[in-house]
Structure formats: C-alpha cells, structure tokens
C-alpha cells in the first residue's frame, strides 16, 4: 500500500471534462494501491466554474454576444460574500470558422457578463481569463462598459466588425466604477512584445505572417489606451488582462494560485507523499502561470515528488529533479488516463 497522492485534474480540451478526468485519475490512484485526494483545478480558463464549485452558492444564466457576434448562453457563478465568478471563455472562446478574421473576434460579451453581474449586485467580480479566441486587448469588453473607440474617420468602432489595429482614439467611459474586479490570469505573460500574448496568436487563427502587424497594433493600442506598465498577466486571453487592468482598474492575479489557495491545496500537499497533475500538452507555455506549472512549483517547494500526465510533451522540465513527466500517445481516453495514472503512481513510489 502506497501513501497519499494529491491529484489535480482539469479539462482535457476536446477529450474529457474535469469531472471525467478526476474520476479516471482517482480510479488509477486506487488501482495502484494509494489514497487519492482529488482537486478539480483550473488556471482561469477552461473548467473555472467546475473548479470553484465547492465555493458556489448559486448560478445564473445569461444571454450575451459571442466572439463572432452570435448570441450565446453563459453561466455566472456566485460564491460566498456575493462575489460573481465570470468565465470569460464562455463568451469569447468559441471555436471560430476557419475562414474568419481572428483579429475581429471580440470580447464584447465578457463586458456584457460583467454588466449582468453588476446589475445583480455583485460585491466583487472575478473574471477568469484563458481559452479565448480573441486578440483584441479587451476593447470589446471595454465598449460594453461605456468606452468608445474611434477609427481614422473618427467613427465609433463596432466590436466584432472592426479590428483593434484600426483604433486611433479612445474616449473614456464608466466601466463599472465602485465594483472591484479581479482578473484570474491563466498565463503570466505581458500584453506586448515577442514573448507576450502574440505567442498564443497562432492558436487563434492568426497566421505567422501577421505577427509583425499584430505586434505593432498591440503597442499602438497600449499607447492610445493609456494603460499602466505592461505587467505579467496582461497578455492573458489575447490582452483581456490588459483591458481589465486599464479600463476596469482590475487587479491581476494568477488564476491557478487563486483557485488552489481557495480550495486548500497547500494544506493538502503538506500531508501528501506525491502529487499528480494532468495537462493535454505540457510545453514551455505550461510554466508561464498555467495550472500544471503552478502545481509543480508548489510541490517542489515542499520537496514532494510531482508527476505530470500529458498526452503531448515537448520535453519541457525533462530531467529536472523531483519532476516526472508521463507522456505519449497524443490522445487519451478515460481508460488510458486511468492506466497511465496507475503506472505513474507506481513509478513515483519506486
């Protein structure tokens, strides 16, 4: 009989929900003869509402504008103390048609979600960032909050139709004064620069040839918006972190740290013998604030061996003491994950 294993599950995009992942990993730990303590985690993107479910006291449904202009139904979760939890990707993270212009995908619906939370009397708004299909710097979101953006003809721009690169003037709006906003960032990259949000643009349909123009547009938009310094986390969700900080005076925090702290993860690993975390693809971006990277960092500080279960892996952290990556196959079923979890537990304890 092995000891206690803390398991951190999350959504495997396009494959399994967080609850399915949790069930498979729990079964795998049990099959290895160890005791599982399971956390359903998130870094602010996919699975945020599922991750915070232990804290939720109510949920409400709303109709808002999706990334490409179609109406979508979204959930807002309410936790103790009256804070509203908004998962931004529900509004701006839908898979887009292959022929769409990625730079026209808008965060307007995120602003509408915040509006709904304010009207409902939220004491605080927690906005999860991650899994977006947008690169608009949050100007769509800010438009829903009362800001106006003008083009070279001094005409008001329309989110979802126009592009951030065409903004020439910004007119201040209300943007939810008096309601504290916290952005739960899935990555710690800045908005601008070659190591900022542009590194994720390809995932959203921006061709490599457009990167120089996008970088120019980002720098120009930052200047026009008059935002604060380009801090870590501002590049989350295609610059939505920047938009929230600039237009809604949001506080930017690590989404994975916030979630793990509020679920009692630190206390759990203090009594654990090993830690396991799953991620669909473990690569260099995983250590830039994402859930797996945060779990690894916390486990290593405690001196606890940590294993990463990942169908895809680029070699990141390979050979690092105390970190073990179990990978291969590219696509796992629930049964694959269960078997690989079992084998990983045995490897960690031998």
In a domain, 310, yes or no: yes
The answer to the question of residue 266 being in a domain is no
State which of 255, 289, 311 marks the end of a domain: 255
Residues 154 and 208 in one domain: yes
For 194, phi and psi rounded to 5 degrees? -70, -15
Among 110-119, 143-152, 194-203, name the one with the lowest average pLDDT: 194-203
Q: Do 170 and 29 share a domain, yes or no?
A: no
Specify whether the CB–CB gap between 85 and 126 falls below 8 A. Answer: yes
239 with 90, same domain: the answer is yes
Do 140 and 289 lie in a common domain? no
Q: Are residues 320 and 186 in the same domain?
A: no
pLDDT at 231: 83
The closest of 271, 278, 270 to 23, measured between CA atoms, is: 278
Looking at the predicted structure, is the pLDDT value of residue 98 above 90? no
- Residue range 99-116: mean pLDDT, rounded: 90
Say what the pLDDT of residue 100 is: 66
- The residues, ordered by sequence, that sit 6+ positions from 133 with a Cβ below 8 Å of its Cβ are 67, 92, 93, 94, 95, 96, 102, 105, 204, 205, 238
Is 298 part of a structural domain of the chain?
A: yes
Residue 58 region, left (φ>0) first, then alpha (ψ -120 to 50), else beta? Answer: beta
What CATH number is associated with residue 62?
Answer: 3.90.1510.10
**Domain-embedded: residue 330:** yes
Distance (Å, whole) CA 230 – CA 232: 7
Residue 159, Cβ neighbours under 10 Å: how many?
Answer: 26
pLDDT tens profile 54-82: 999 999 999 999 998 999 999 999 999 99
pTM score: 0.93
**221 and 310 share one domain:** no
- For residues 293 and 152, membership in a common domain is answered with no
Give the closest residue to 204 by CA, choosing from 43, 71, 94: 94
pLDDT band at 94 (very low <50, low <70, confident <90, very high): confident
Instruction: Tell me the pLDDT tens digit for each residue of 193-227.
Output: 988 999 999 888 888 889 999 999 999 999 999 87
Do 111 and 76 share a domain, yes or no?
yes
Those residues with Cβ within 8 angstroms of residue 336's Cβ, 6 or more apart along the chain or in another chain: 329
Q: How many domains does the chain fold into? A: 2
Secondary structure class of 21 (helix, strand, coil): helix
Same domain for 14 and 99, yes or no, is no
Read off φ and ψ for residue 317, nearest 5 degrees.
Answer: 65, 10
Examine residue 204 and state whether it is found in any structural domain, yes or no.
Answer: yes
- For residue 69, give the 3-state DSSP assignment: coil
Give the residue from 198, 228, 255 where a domain finishes: 255
Measured between alpha carbons, how far is 219 from 193 in angstroms, rounded to an integer? 8
In a shared domain, residues 232 and 328: no
In a domain, 297, yes or no: yes
| Cα dihedral 31, 34, 35, 40 in deg (nearest 10) | -70
**Residue 268 located in a structural domain:** no
For residue range 237-270, list pLDDT tens digits in order: 999 999 999 999 999 999 999 999 999 999 999 9
Give the structural domain span for 310: 4-34+273-348
The CATH number for 288's domain is: 3.40.50.10350
Residue 146 located in a structural domain: yes
């Amino acid at each position: 009989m092995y000891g206690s294993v803390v398991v951190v599950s999350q959504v495997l995009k396009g494959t399994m929900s967080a609850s399915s992942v949790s069930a498979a990993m729990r079964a795998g730990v049990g099959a290895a003869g160890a005791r599982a303590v399971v956390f359903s985690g998130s870094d602010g993107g996919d699975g945020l509402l599922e991750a915070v479910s232990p804290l939720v006291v109510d949920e409400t449904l709303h109709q808002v504008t999706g990334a490409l202009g179609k109406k979508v139904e979204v959930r807002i979760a309410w936790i103790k103390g009256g804070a509203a939890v908004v998962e931004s990707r529900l509004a701006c993270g839908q898979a887009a048609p292959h022929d769409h212009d990625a730079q026209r995908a808008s965060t307007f619906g995120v602003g509408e979600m915040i509006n709904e939370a304010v009207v409902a009397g939220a004491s605080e708004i927690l906005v999860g960032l991650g899994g977006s299909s947008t690169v608009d710097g949050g100007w769509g979101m800010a438009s829903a909050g009362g800001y106006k953006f003008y083009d070279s003809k001094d005409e008001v721009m329309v989110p979802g139709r126009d592009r951030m690169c065409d903004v020439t003037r910004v007119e201040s709006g209300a943007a939810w004064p008096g309601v504290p906003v916290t952005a739960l960032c899935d990555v710690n990259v800045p908005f601008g620069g070659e190591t900022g949000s542009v590194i994720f643009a390809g995932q959203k349909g921006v061709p490599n040839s457009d990167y120089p123009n996008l970088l120019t547009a980002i720098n120009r938009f930052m200047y026009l918006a008059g935002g604060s310094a380009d801090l870590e986390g501002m590049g989350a969700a295609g610059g939505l972190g920047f938009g929230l900080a600039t237009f809604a005076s949001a506080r930017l925090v690590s989404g994975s740290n916030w979630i793990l702290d509020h679920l009692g993860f630190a206390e759990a690993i203090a009594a654990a013998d090993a830690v396991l975390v799953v991620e669909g693809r473990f690569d260099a971006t995983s250590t830039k604030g994402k859930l797996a990277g945060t779990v690894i960092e916390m486990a290593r500080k405690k001196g606890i061996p940590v294993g990463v279960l990942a169908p895809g892996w680029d070699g990141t952290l390979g050979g690092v003491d105390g970190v073990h990556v179990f990978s291969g196959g590219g696509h796992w079923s629930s049964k694959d994950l269960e078997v690989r979890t079992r084998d990983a537990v045995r490897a960690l304890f031998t």
